[in-house]
């Protein structure tokens, strides 16, 4: 599964699923550009750790995924600092929950911008570089909510369904090239974003955090277990191999049978 010499950008990769993907791609030999939040000291430490352990170059972009110009700048920075661009993983995302009539308009706009539009802007800027090399891998991290819906998540569900549609169009437009585009659809993965939902559920219902965790899982995920960032990373790495060259425009669920119901 060696990706030696390849260059990957992973958005939203300073923690959670994105970090799991970045770590696996780096472990397989890819030079990586991280993107996300964190103090300068934390980011420097993360870069040094990945570079030292995986013996690859690790760059960082603080591009705001709600700003198209900064997304384009991130692509250009990766090519400038790492020499090329082979793999793009669109992972950055935010969440807000509320009934539709109570859903703040600014939260709708922010979630659509970061969870959906950022994917478009990154792909649009990255594709010319991949076409030039006649090879590329685009992986969009969608969600089980890109395939099914849940109450109180109108913006997130809309955005992730949009990501699935975007993935299909890109796959069709690159079908006769060495570039593939697919979407990974995780169910519950224990990330900082999900932990916030668990904490909010515990507070709202006045139950211990562990009880809230079990309720959250079992309400949707029949396995009763979280998927892990490492599992998502392993799938992303596989999609970057030649063995996955004819996996195009599809969704791959890692959801403990959530969407099998």
Residues designated catalytic: 156
Query: Scanning the structure block, which residue is given the tokens 């972009």?
Result: 61
Find, among 260, 204, 195, 203, the residue nearest to 226 by Cα: 195
Paired tokens of 28: 């397989």
Paired tokens of 61: 């972009």
What's the alpha-carbon Rg for the chain, to the nearest Å? 18
The number of angstroms, rounded, from the C-alpha of 77 to the middle of its chain's C-alpha atoms is 20
Query: Scanning the structure block, which residue is given the tokens 């700048």?
Result: 73
Distance CA 142, CA 246 (A): 20
Half-sphere exposure of 141 (CA within 13 A, CB side): 32
Buried b (16+ CB within 10 A) or exposed e, 97-121: beeeeebeeebbeebbbbbbbbbbb
Distance CA 95, CA 33 (A): 24
The number of angstroms, rounded, from the C-alpha of 41 to the middle of its chain's C-alpha atoms is 23
């Amino acid at each position: 599964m060696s990706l030696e010499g390849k260059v990957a950008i992973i958005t939203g990769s300073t923690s959670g699923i994105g970090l799991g993907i970045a770590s696996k791609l780096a472990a397989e030999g890819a030079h990586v550009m991280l993107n996300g939040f964190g103090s300068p000291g934390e980011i420097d430490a993360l870069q040094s750790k990945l570079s030292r352990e995986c013996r690859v170059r690790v760059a960082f972009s603080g591009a705001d995924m709600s700003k198209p110009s900064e997304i384009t700048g991130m692509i250009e920075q990766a090519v400038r600092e790492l020499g090329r661009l082979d793999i793009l993983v669109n992972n950055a995302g935010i969440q807000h929950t509320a009934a539709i009539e109570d859903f703040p308009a600014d939260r709708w706009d922010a979630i659509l911008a970061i969870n959906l539009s950022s994917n478009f802007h990154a792909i649009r800027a990255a594709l010319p570089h991949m076409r030039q090399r006649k090879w590329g891998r685009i992986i969009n991290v969608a969600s089980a909510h890109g395939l099914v819906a849940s109450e109180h998540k109108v913006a997130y569900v809309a955005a992730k369904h949009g990501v699935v549609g975007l993935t299909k169009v890109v796959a069709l437009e690159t079908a006769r090239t060495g570039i593939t585009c697919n979407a990974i659809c995780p169910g519950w993965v224990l990330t900082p974003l999900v932990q916030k939902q668990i904490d909010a559920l515990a507070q709202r219902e006045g139950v211990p955090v562990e009880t809230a965790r079990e309720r959250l899982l079992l309400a949707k995920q029949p396995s009763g277990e979280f998927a892990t960032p490492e599992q998502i990373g392993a799938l992303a790495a596989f999609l970057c191999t030649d063995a996955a060259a004819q996996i195009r425009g599809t969704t791959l669920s890692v959801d403990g049978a959530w969407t099998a119901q």
